[in-house]
Amino acid sequence: MGQTVNHQNKFSIAVEDQGGGETHLSISGRIMMGDFDIFTAEIERILRQQSPSSLTVDLAMLQYIDSAGALSLVQLETRARGQSIPVTYKNMSRETRGMMELIDKQSLMTPSIYSEKKRLHLFDRVGNATISFYDDLIDVMTFLGELLAAMTYCTLHPRSIRWGDVLFYMRKSGSEALPIVGLISLLMGLIMAFMSSLQLKQFGANLYVAALVGIAIVKELGPMMTAIVVAGRSGSAFAAEIGTMMVNEEVDALTTMGFDPVRFLAIPKIIATVLVVPLLTLYAILFGIMGGLLVGVIGLDLTFYTYIQQTMKHIQMFDVISSLVKSAVFAFLIAGIGCQRGFQVFGGAEAVGESTTSAVVSAIFLIVVTDSAFAIILHYAF
């Protein structure tokens, strides 16, 4: 007693009951990638219907099989043995055997990590997030210690600093960022002046638009917007550069040659960023005030002299200095977190992308938190 299953003239499975619970399968034709799902479904149906105690698979009439077809035969063997059904292959050609040997049977028998994942409850997710945050904090603090040790060494041994790389990163982080920083600051000044004028002119207080824009740009928006732009441009570039070196094992090569990776790679980037970001902040402040000036002169009928006088009247030198100090701290955070995320990379291109994203997000978060701390300190201490 037997039956034959045909599939679009590609392959056929002849099923014969040999008695005593033994089932004989004769597979003929061609089994390729497009037939994988149908072939697997037919085998499962046959096993379910026959419930054999032993299974013999005759491959004498099998004309061709690719890697997907070999995988289907391996899975046939795995499913049958999972039901305690011994499987025997007969008349297997050398080509078929070679294809099947390419399949890692041990990996197929290992349960998938994703299949074991369960939906976590809220407290479990909060706990996992807390542990991840704690581990990340430990990594950041450890890198900060290594960075401070490297900076101390470089302070005592200035010749160990790669000044050529410092100049290179000053150009990449500084001069090449001038167009975007200038444009964003100019537009911020324009927007602030225009929106504030809509309210102030109702009370005849157009004159105070200059003071409002000047104070906002100098104290807050200038340093913060500059830092965010640098985080997006340079912080991500630092993370991607060091991350790629980690993937290519270039950092391991530096360590093998006796170089300190933090001193060799991170210090030039941090020095360059700390030097150029305050200068970029002054540049951003200038363009932000120019944006407000355009609105004041063109839209509010203020003279150039009046606008500049009102701006200088309400801005003190301490405000400018404190903004430069803030921008230097922001620069240290941006370059430091970018390098730290780069040194964390393990894996391939996907890990580099994740570290780059993490560097930008972490840098912006630290910028906002640090700016909040500066606002409170400067308000109550001075």
Q: How confident is the model at residue 4 (pLDDT cuts 50, 70, 90)?
A: low
Q: What is the pLDDT of residue 1?
A: 47
Higher-scoring residue by pLDDT: 118, 243: 243
How many other CB atoms are found less than 10 A from the CB of residue 345?
A: 24
Q: Provide the 3-class DSSP secondary structure of residue 305.
A: helix
- Please say whether the beta carbons of 34 and 69 come within 8 A: no
Instruction: Tell me the average pLDDT of the chain.
Output: 85
Q: Give the Cα separation of 278 and 227 in Å (integer).
A: 9
Is 288 within 8 Å of 188 (Cβ atoms)?
Answer: yes
Q: Which of 36-40, 131-135, 266-270 has the lowest mean pLDDT?
A: 36-40
Q: For residue 193, which amino acid is it?
A: A
Contact 37, 44 (CB under 8 A): no
The two structure tokens encoding residue 309: 């006088």
Rg (CA), the chain: 34
Pairing between strand 22-31 and 62-65? parallel
327 vs 105: which has the higher pLDDT? 327
Average pLDDT value for residue range 285-289: 94
Q: Flag whether pLDDT at 116 surpasses 50.
A: no
Mean pLDDT of 76-102: 79
pLDDT at residue number 89 = 82
223-266 pLDDT per residue, tens: 999 999 999 999 999 999 999 999 888 988 988 898 889 999 99
- Residues 188-217: pLDDT tens digits? 999 999 998 888 888 878 888 888 999 999
Q: Identify which of 338, 290, 272, 278 has the alpha carbon closest to the alpha carbon of residue 184.
A: 290
* Best mean pLDDT range from 4-8, 28-32, 367-371: 367-371
Whether 272 contacts 169, CB under 8 Å? yes
Lowest mean pLDDT among 97-111, 227-241, 365-379: 97-111
pLDDT at 179 (0 to 100): 93
**Distance, CA of 232 to CA of 230 (rounded, Å):** 5
Q: What angle do CA 302, 307, 311 make, to 5 degrees?
A: 155
Minimum mean pLDDT among 116-120, 149-153, 225-229, 361-365: which range?
A: 116-120
Within the chain, where are the H helices? 36-50, 67-82, 94-101, 105-109, 122-156, 163-173, 178-200, 208-216, 222-230, 236-247, 250-256, 261, 267-299, 304-314, 317-343, 349-381
Reply yes or no on whether the pLDDT at 108 is more than 80. no
Quick one: pLDDT at residue 267?
94
Q: How many residues would you count in the chain? A: 382
Two tokens at 142?
A: 């450890």
Instruction: Give the pLDDT of residue 128.
Output: 85
Residue 316's φ and ψ, nearest 5 degrees, are -105, 160
* 2: β partners: 16
Contacts of residue 17, Cβ cutoff 8 Å, sequence gap at least 6: 1, 2, 23, 24, 50
User: Which range has the worst mean pLDDT, 31-45, 242-256, 267-281, 335-349?
Assistant: 31-45
Q: All domains of the chain, ordered by start, with CATH?
A: 2-115 (3.30.750.24), 165-381 (no CATH)
Return the pLDDT at 180.
94
Question: Which of 236, 271, 260 has its CA nearest to residue 164?
Answer: 271
Residue 380 has pLDDT above 50, yes or no: yes
Residue 186 has pLDDT above 80, yes or no: yes
What is the pLDDT, as a whole number, of residue 153? Answer: 92
Q: How much is the pTM?
A: 0.68
pLDDT score, position 114: 44
User: Rounded distance, CA 198 to CA 76, Å?
Assistant: 75
- Residue of higher predicted confidence among 156 and 107: 156
The Cα 247–Cα 354 span in angstroms is 13
Check residues 19 and 126 and name the one with the higher pLDDT: 126
pLDDT tens across 306-338, in order? 888 888 888 889 989 999 999 999 999 999 999
Q: Please tell me the least confidently modeled range out of 42-56, 155-169, 211-225.
A: 42-56
Which carries the bigger pLDDT value, residue 358 or residue 11?
358
Q: Is 35 exposed, middle or buried (0-12, 13-18, 19+ CB in 10 A)?
A: buried
Q: What is the mean pLDDT of residues 353-367?
A: 92
Q: Write out the DSSP string of 132-148.
A: HHHHHHHHHHHHHHHHH
Q: Mention every residue, 6+ apart, whose C-beta is less than 8 A from residue 292.
A: 189, 190, 192, 193, 209, 210, 213, 214, 217, 307, 311
- Residues of the chain above pLDDT 70, percent: 93
SS3 249: coil
